[in-house]
Amino acid sequence: MRCCSFIASWLWPESKEIMKKVHVFTSAAFNYIPKVRMLFQSLRAHHPEFVLHLALADKLHPEIDLSSEPFDEVMPLDELDIPNVTGWAFCHQIVELATAIKPFALQKLLAREDCEQVLYMDPDTVAFSRLDDVLQSLSNHSVVLTPHLTSPETTIEGVMDNEISCLKHGVYNLGFVGVRSDDEGRRFAKWWGDRIYSFCRDDIKNGLFTDQRWIDLVPAFFENVGILKSPRLNVATWNLRTRLFQGSLEEGFSVDGFPLGFYHFTGFDSGAHRVMADRNAAGNKSVQQLIDWYHAQTSKLSDDPLARVPWAYANYSDGSVVTAAQRIIYRDRIDLQGSFHDPFDASGYLQWWQRQARREYPALFDTHVSESGLQNLTKTLSPGFNPGSSRCSIQLAAITASGTDPVAGRAQPPAPLLLRAWRVFRREGFKGVARRLR
């Protein structure tokens, strides 16, 4: 019998069971890797079993060796399966891009056979104890979120600083999100990516704050969503008024009597973190010691060679700096997207900008009103980057087939108009066509 069993197992070997793992990722450009290192070193100390990934909002540099960094894998932007990734990247400032890639990195990790759960954590967070309560919640939920606030403020100053800020920036802080590798978790990741592809903008007046405001809709749109209200998770200046933060680096920190899980040092480089900590936790020596410690750690990081690596998407091919206005106009005009597939190529979109943008957007070139001109570009919400949109061909067809410009309303013979409209459209977009047909 043993012999038969051996032969059977040899002929029909059972498939090897894949061990499921927890994958953790953060997103950053090269210049932020020193802070990523701090996050991942803290996770290694408490969870050596985690698989750690860097979603890189940048291009890899073959001459830069990342093998000694405390992450297992790098996922550069151009390997995240984002459609028309070059033009899409051009539409974003560096913080916008670092947040915009999150759902796409999440989708890739959830598709792995060995993936059981995925955690995202911002690069300016640090873990101070194990996160078993988070993992336990993910074993029962498809998506888990941490609210900015878990208790109401008790002063008018706290309401203005924190509760109203949540109404503007989002109920849930996207410095953390957890997703289980199940159908609902993958459905969430796909939906999030679809929204972020067009609408990852720092544009509070139009209801957007990078990737974060979208998550307010998640408990309404998806099943099996867990809200982690533990005071020890995602501790930051905005919730210090309503949480009792105690302890020290030597003894360990606690929040409302629970071991500090992870702290979010958001806004640290600008100095805003210390200012808000002084407002929300005035006189708290434990908070002050934690902030002083992080300052001491990060002040050394500015000398790290990686912190000085230029962002790959900051300049045109000739070295010229890409301005915010140039990004916005390209993002909002599908005619330019269709004409310049690689807007970083200085021989293309930049030439259009230097020749034509001054005529169409004179306020942007007047130093006295350029700031208000930039604000005017985003007064109304646009559909965003969509180079494959049919709107472009449909509108141009409406001009040429009927002989009428829908903006100017002036009839012209179809054949000459077709040729002229096409030439002008390729160079100057719809505004150029409309201006000439008037």
pLDDT band at 434 (very low <50, low <70, confident <90, very high): low
Over range 216-222, report the average pLDDT: 98
Residue (of 221, 16, 208, 220) closest to 96 by Cα position: 208
Q: Are 330 and 324 in contact (CB under 8 A)?
A: no
Q: Look at residue 437 in the predicted model and tell me its pLDDT.
A: 52
Q: Look at residue 393 in the predicted model and tell me its pLDDT.
A: 39
DSSP 8-state code for residue 31: G
Q: Is the pLDDT of residue 299 over 80?
A: yes
Positive or negative, the CA dihedral 327, 195, 168, 272 is: negative
Residue (of 314, 327, 307) closest to 123 by Cα position: 307
Residue (of 118, 119, 78, 124) closest to 101 by Cα position: 78
pLDDT band at 9 (very low <50, low <70, confident <90, very high): low
Q: Is the pLDDT of residue 92 over 50?
A: yes
Q: What is the pLDDT of residues 165-199, one digit of tens each?
A: 999 999 999 999 999 999 999 999 999 999 999 99
Q: What whole-number distance in Å separates Cα of residue 224 and Cα of residue 120?
A: 18
**SS3 call for 153:** coil
State the SS3 of 93-142.
CHHHHHHHCHHHHHHHHHCCCCEEEEEEECCCEEECCCCHHHHHHHCCCC
pTM (2 decimals)?
0.84
Q: Is the pLDDT of residue 270 over 70?
A: yes
Q: Look at residue 371 in the predicted model and tell me its pLDDT.
A: 82
Which domains can be identified in the chain, with CATH numbers? 21-301 (3.90.550.10), 324-437 (no CATH)
Q: What is the pLDDT of residues 381-426, one digit of tens each?
A: 888 898 876 444 333 333 333 333 322 332 333 334 444 554 455 4
Q: What whole-number distance in Å separates Cα of residue 139 and Cα of residue 180?
A: 7
Q: Measured in Å, how far apart are the chain's first and last C-alpha atoms?
A: 93
- Residue 414 is which amino acid? P
C-alpha 218, offset from chain centre: 17
Q: In this structure, are strands 176-180 and 262-264 parallel, antiparallel, or unpaired?
A: unpaired
